[in-house]
Each structure stands twice: as C-alpha cells, then as structure tokens.
C-alpha cells in the first residue's frame, strides 16, 4: 500500500503527525508512506524513518493554481492507494480529491466555535488533543491511538557538527522565549535565566528566531543562539539539555519530541490541545479568562495580560526546582 499524508503547517502540528506515521507503519509494515508539507515546516518531518519521501510544497505558491496543478500531476505519478488529509483545509481537500483515490480526512473543530471564540462570545476549549483528532478518521484503516509518542528526528552529521561547536556533554539548560503570537510569550525569561544561573550553576542556551535575540541578556554562561540554529540543530541542543523552558511554540514540541524534561507556559492557549507525560510540566497562572484563543493574539483581548504578567520568575523557578529535586529523589 502506498499512502500520502498531507499536513502543510505549522511546525508543531506537522510534528504532531509523527505518532500517526509510526502507527501506520506498525499496522501496515509494508506500506510506503510519503508526506506533503510546506517548505517552511519541512524540518518537523524530514529524517523520520517511517517516511519514504517528503514532498516539499512552496508556501509562497499556495495560491498559484498553475503551481498547484503541476504538483498534482507529479503526485498522480506516485499512484497512491490512500490519501490521509490531516490538515483538512480547502487546499489539502482540493489536492486530495484531484488524486482520485481513497481519501480520508480529519475533522477540524466546528466552524461556529472558532467564530464565537473570535467574537469573545465563548472561551476557547479544545474538543480533544490534536493527536487524538488525527487518529479518529484512521479507524477506517483499523488504526487506533495507543499512546504513541511524538518523535523529532535529525541525522548524525548534524548532531556531530553541533557537538563539535558546543560541548554538549556539560550540564546546561535551554530557554526558548519566543512564540508566533505576542500573547503566548512569557515576559520574565531574563529574570528566570538569572535565577537559574545563580542557584543551579548551569550554562544556559537561548534558542528561537532572530526576533528573539536579546530577550535574555548574554554573559559568559548565557549564550544566545536565537536566529543562529535550524530546527534540527535546536533539536540536538534540546536533546542533551537537563531541561528546557518554553512557551507554547515550536521548541516546546521539539523538546517533547527528543524526550527532554520540558516546562511550558500556557496563557491564552489551551493545554488541552496536547497530551502530556511525566516529562512535561504545564506552567499556568490559571486566570479565569484563559484560555481565550486558538493560536494566541498580538494583544491581550482584555488588555491586562495577567495570564503571563502575574506569573513571576520566582514562582516559576520554585516549580522547576521542586520538579528537578523530585526527579533526583526518585
């Protein structure tokens, strides 16, 4: 059987398909699985051993019908037996239907719920974790979720190169202060870095996009690599960290995917979108008005930003320290 899985974006949502790919391969060991993804998020899925081929879709051409139809002709030559659409947007449906083979797609949340959340008529609440939603339509293929984990893969040369550049055998932690929306960004990462440095005597690496550079002030033990690492390189750095502290963002999913102890902030978004294990700790100030958004916003709808502002560095550091000591005790 030859299968094409479609998920264009965003980074975390693409990475969250990894349990699906693993399960398909377990149920159908002879299946050849390909993946269609936007170029900007391809690093979330490349190097995955359950995939044969990754088809890269140019995001800037996502409304260019000549480009899209040319891609469809290329995909037709692959003669897929089944299309699994895990994005379920107009573009993925168009491509899936045009390939004229068995087509399975997952159902997004009810459209009216998204509108009501945007109008602030109801609070946002996830219907179910994203991974569970991905698995629901796969029952048609006798594929069911059985606690498969998110996995992030990178190749050995990337790991070796980064190890030569930075000594990954020494004790360090990773902080990722960035996020796609302003309201998802906790504002005390610099203070937290100082507390970790003063009380834990650990080297600290900062990762994220170039726009995150300078959020945490550098010194000889705080190295800011924001904008300097690829997703794959960030994965290597996270893999060997003692722990990471992130917002609800790409580095959060990567950290979980490489098995690192992860502390993640949730304010405007709902942690119910994800499945958490013993290795992950949700950091939330539990405000009555949160969660208030599906993806976060540029500004707090209530203008006070209490979900992040009232969660100060000292309190977060205490939680981290307790969790780390708890693990040592076990």
Q: How far apart are CA 147 and CA 222, in angstroms?
A: 36
Q: How far apart are the first and last CA of the chain?
A: 46
pLDDT of residue 161: 96
- Domain range for 229: 156-329
The tokens for 111 are 């459209």
Q: Give the per-residue pLDDT at 328.
A: 52
Mean pLDDT of 143-150: 97
Q: Where residue 117 sits, what CATH number does that domain have?
A: 3.40.50.2000
HSE, side-chain direction, 13 A CA sphere, residue 188: 19
Q: Per the domain annotation, does 149 fall within a domain?
A: no
Say if residue 191 is in the same domain as residue 109: no
Q: Are residues 227 and 89 in the same domain?
A: no
Q: Does the pLDDT of residue 120 top 90, yes or no?
A: no
Same domain, 137 and 173: no
Q: Are residues 48 and 73 both part of a single domain?
A: yes
pTM of the model: 0.95
Boundary residue ending a domain (84, 110, 141)? 141
**Across residues 235-246, what is the average pLDDT?**
98
Looking at the structure, do residues 173 and 305 belong to the same domain, yes or no? Answer: yes
The reply to whether 184 falls in a domain is: yes
Token look-up 């500004």 returns 299
Domain shared by 193 and 295, yes or no: yes
């Amino acid at each position: 059987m030859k299968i094409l899985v479609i998920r264009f974006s965003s980074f975390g949502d693409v990475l969250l398909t990894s349990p699906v790919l693993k399960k398909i391969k377990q149920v159908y060991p002879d299946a050849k699985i390909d993946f269609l993804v936007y170029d900007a998020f391809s690093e979330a899925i490349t190097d995955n051993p359950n995939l044969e081929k990754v088809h890269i879709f140019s995001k800037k051409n996502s409304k260019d019908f000549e480009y899209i139809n040319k891609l469809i002709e290329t995909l037709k030559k692959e003669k897929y037996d089944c299309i699994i659409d895990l994005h379920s947007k107009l573009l993925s449906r168009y491509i899936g239907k045009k390939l004229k083979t068995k087509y399975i797609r997952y159902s997004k949340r009810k459209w009216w719920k998204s509108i009501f959340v945007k109008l602030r008529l109801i609070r946002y609440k996830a219907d179910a974790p994203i991974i569970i939603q991905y698995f629901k339509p796969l029952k048609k293929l006798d594929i069911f979720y059985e606690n498969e984990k998110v996995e992030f893969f990178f190749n050995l040369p990337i790991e070796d190169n980064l190890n030569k550049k930075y000594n990954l055998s020494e004790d360090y932690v990773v902080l990722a202060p960035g996020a796609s929306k302003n309201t998802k960004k906790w504002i005390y990462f610099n203070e937290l870095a100082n507390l970790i440095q003063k009380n834990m005597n650990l080297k600290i690496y900062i990762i994220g996009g170039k726009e995150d550079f300078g959020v945490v002030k550098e010194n000889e033990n705080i190295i800011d690599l924001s904008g300097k690492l690829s997703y794959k390189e960030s994965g290597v750095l996270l893999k060997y960290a003692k722990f990471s502290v992130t917002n609800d963002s790409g580095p959060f999913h990567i950290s979980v995917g490489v098995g690192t102890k992860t502390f993640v902030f949730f304010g405007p978004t709902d942690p119910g979108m994800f499945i958490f294990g013993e290795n992950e700790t949700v950091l939330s100030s539990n405000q009555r008005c949160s969660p208030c958004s599906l993806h976060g916003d540029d500004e707090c709808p209530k203008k006070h930003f209490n979900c992040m502002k009232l969660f100060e560095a000292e309190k977060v550091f205490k939680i981290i320290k307790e969790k780390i000591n708890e693990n040592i005790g076990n």
